[in-house]
């Protein structure tokens, strides 16, 4: 009897190594390495900087678990990717666990949530289904400000509660859970308090710059922080090492905020977006650029169309962390980013 867990741990470790090896191959062979999937546009909240909740599809029109299994297998033809399960609010779907399992078969599924629907049993099931990492979105350390921004009272308390539940259930340690913060002019002064929150809870922390253009982004009046933010974050990263966002991305933020982007965007080539109906586009900001429907069409056709959008070449509309992550793992190897990848992103989910 005592041998069963050993065997299943060994099997999990072998599967993790296989998927990990394929992802590393993707890094060096310049394959797609990151895919965002909206599993639903529905949301229980109404955040000002997001517009997915404004156009929900009826659940019967959304993709089914079988569709996600098909999509997962087709994406695997491109390689093993970090698949970011998002929405809308992904945990509004009663079959969220099965969706995670469908992606875990070939990829590294991570999930972002506002935390509202997290329970102890759901947390255990999500981890058991093969979730690599989960991010709970918290943008302000002051509860009243977070609640006002997310459009409902109690969202801060619920997010912190979700953080604790997910952390306590995490199979490979508390760093599998991360606070995800969107940086805006409005919350720059709260960043250190937010980092204290992740430190107190023993979880990781990631941040992304606000995106103000594009199809899924609200016309909210939220504004970009001033240049100098990247330097401030680097200084904070030195004091709060649980901030696993790449140093190279943080440095590039100031160049972007000064209007001096030096690097091409890899959208459509090394990262992509799949919406709640299976429509594929180069990134979450450009849902109008349709490369086809992955439920019905082969990966090879869609991958070729994805690479053909002129609008993406030289685009500087955003500098989100998805763009930054891929940039740091593309082109000539940046040794510091690889070190940070193994010390941060990759180490959190390694079976021990
Ligand atoms: C669209 S949400 C979906 C998942 C979930 N509902 C949540 O809020 O975490 C995914 C991530 O995008 C972030 N986000 C929303 N609007 C954004 C914007 N305009 N710019 C950058 N990130 C944004 C959210 O805060 C969240 O961390
Ligand atoms: S950011 Fe997340 S929680 Fe907020 S409205 Fe958008 S999908 Fe919902
Ligand atoms: S910079 Fe890249 S990721 Fe951002 S909107 Fe443009 S194409 Fe999309």
User: Dihedral (C-alpha) 96, 349, 321, 126: value to the nearest 10 degrees?
Assistant: 10
pLDDT at 5: 47
Is the Cβ–Cβ distance between 320 and 208 less than 8 Å? Answer: yes
- In this prediction, residues 19-27 reach a mean pLDDT of 87
pLDDT confidence band for 194 (50 / 70 / 90): very high
DSSP 300-331: HHHHHHHTT-GGGTT--S---HHHHHHHHTSS
**CA nearest 83: which of 94, 68, 95, 93?**
68
Mean pLDDT (whole number) for 134-141? 98
pTM given for the model: 0.94
Q: Return the structure tokens found at 264.
A: 């091409």
Query: By the 8 A CB rule, do 92 and 40 touch?
Result: yes
Which of 70-79, 150-159, 341-350 is predicted with the least confidence, judged by mean pLDDT?
A: 341-350
Please choose from 86, 99, 186, 217 the residue to mutate so as to test ligand 1's pocket, defined by most ligand atoms within 8 A of CB.
Answer: 86
Closest CA to 278 of 35, 106, 71: 71
For residue 351, the model assigns a pLDDT of 59
Q: Which of 149-163, 206-220, 267-281, 323-337 has the lowest mean pLDDT?
A: 206-220
Q: What's the 6 CA to ligand 1 centre distance in angstroms?
A: 38
Where residue 6 falls among pLDDT bands split at 50, 70, 90? Answer: low
- Inform me whether the pLDDT recorded for 2 exceeds 50: no
Q: Which helix (H) or strand (E) holds 11?
A: helix 3-28
- Specify the pairing of strand 177-183 against strand 34-38: unpaired
Asked if residue 115 has pLDDT above 60, the reply is yes
321 pLDDT exceeds 50? yes
Picking from 284, 18, 6, 279, the residue whose alpha carbon sits closest to that of residue 130 is 18
283 CA closest ligand 3 atom index? 8
Per the CB < 8 A criterion, the answer to whether 102 and 66 are in contact is: no
Tell me which residues have their CB closer than 6 angstroms to ligand 3.
214, 265, 267, 282-283, 285-286, 312, 315-318, 323
Checking if the pLDDT of 250 tops 50, the result is yes
Give the distance from CA 104 to its chain's centroid: 15
**Predicted local distance difference test score (pLDDT) of residue 149:** 93
Q: Which of 185, 134, 337 is closest to 247 using CA atoms?
A: 337
Query: What tokens were used for 69?
Result: 């299994």
**Which residues on adjacent β-strands are paired with residue 111?**
85, 134
CA distance 256 to 234: 15
Report the pLDDT averaged over residues 281-298.
96
**140: CA distance to ligand 3 center in Å?**
26
Q: What b-and-e string marks burial along 188-219, b requiring 16 or more CB atoms within 10 Å of the CB? A: eebbeebbebbeebebbbbbbbbbbebbbbbe
In the chain, beta strands by DSSP E: 34-38, 82-86, 108-113, 133-137, 177-183, 204-209, 271-274, 279-281, 292-293
Length of the chain counted residue by residue? 352
Residue entry with tokens 């109008």: 288
State phi, psi for 105 to the nearest 5 degrees: -60, -40
CB of 307 within 8 A of CB of 274? no
pLDDT at residue 285 tops 50: yes
pLDDT of residue 280: 98
pLDDT at res. 216? 64
Residues 164-174, mean pLDDT to the nearest whole number: 96
pLDDT of residue 254 exceeding 90, the answer is yes
End-to-end CA distance of the chain: 21
Q: Residue 349: its pLDDT value, please?
A: 66
- Please give the number of the atom of ligand 1 that sits closest to the Cα of 209: 21
Q: How many CA atoms lie within 13 A of 301 on its CB side?
A: 9
| Residue carrying structure tokens 């922390």 | 205
Give me the mean pLDDT over the 180-193 stretch: 97
% of the chain exceeding 70 in pLDDT: 95
Amino acid 3: pLDDT: 43
Q: CA 157, CA 116: separation in Å to the nearest integer?
A: 10
> Is 88's C-beta closer than 6 angstroms to any atom of ligand 2?
yes
Which of 4-18, 22-36, 155-169 holds the top average pLDDT?
155-169
């Amino acid at each position: 009897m005592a041998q069963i867990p050993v065997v299943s741990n060994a099997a999990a470790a072998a599967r993790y190594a296989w998927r990990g090896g394929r992802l590393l191959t993707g890094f060096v062979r310049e394959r797609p390495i990151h895919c965002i999937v909206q599993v639903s546009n529905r949301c229980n909240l109404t955040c000002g900087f997001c517009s997915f909740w404004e156009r929900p599809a009826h659940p019967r029109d959304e993709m089914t678990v079988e569709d996600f299994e098909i999509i997962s297998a087709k994406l695997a033809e491109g390689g093993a990717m970090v698949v970011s399960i998002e929405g809308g609010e992904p945990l509004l779907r009663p079959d969220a666990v099965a969706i995670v399992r469908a992606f875990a078969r070939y990829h590294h599924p991570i999930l972002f949530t506002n935390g509202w629907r997290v329970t102890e049993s759901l947390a255990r099931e999500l981890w058991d289904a093969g979730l690599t990492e989960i991010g709970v979105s918290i943008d302000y350390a002051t509860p009243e400000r977070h609640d006002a921004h997310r459009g409902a009272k109690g969202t801060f308390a619920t997010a912190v509660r979700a953080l604790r539940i997910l952390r306590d259930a995490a199979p490979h340690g508390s760093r599998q859970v991360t606070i995800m913060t969107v940086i805006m002019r409005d919350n720059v002064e709260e960043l250190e308090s937010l980092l204290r929150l992740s430190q107190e809870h023993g979880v990781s922390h990631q941040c992304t710059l606000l995106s103000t253009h594009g199809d899924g982004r609200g016309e909210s009046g939220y504004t970009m922080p001033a240049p100098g933010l990247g330097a401030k974050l680097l200084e904070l990263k030195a004091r709060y090492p649980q901030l696993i966002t790449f140093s190279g991305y943080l440095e590039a933020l100031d160049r972007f905020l000064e209007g001096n982007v030096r690097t091409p965007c890899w959208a459509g080539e090394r990262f992509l977006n799949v919406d709640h109906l299976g429509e594929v586009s180069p990134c979450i900001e450009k849902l109008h650029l349709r490369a086809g429907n992955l439920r019905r069409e082969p990966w090879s056709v869609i991958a070729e169309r994805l690479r053909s959008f002129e609008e993406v070449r030289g685009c500087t509309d955003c500098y989100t962390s998805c763009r930054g992550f891929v940039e740091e793992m593309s082109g000539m190897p940046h040794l510091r980013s690889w070190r940070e990848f193994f010390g941060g992103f990759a180490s959190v989910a390694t079976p021990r």
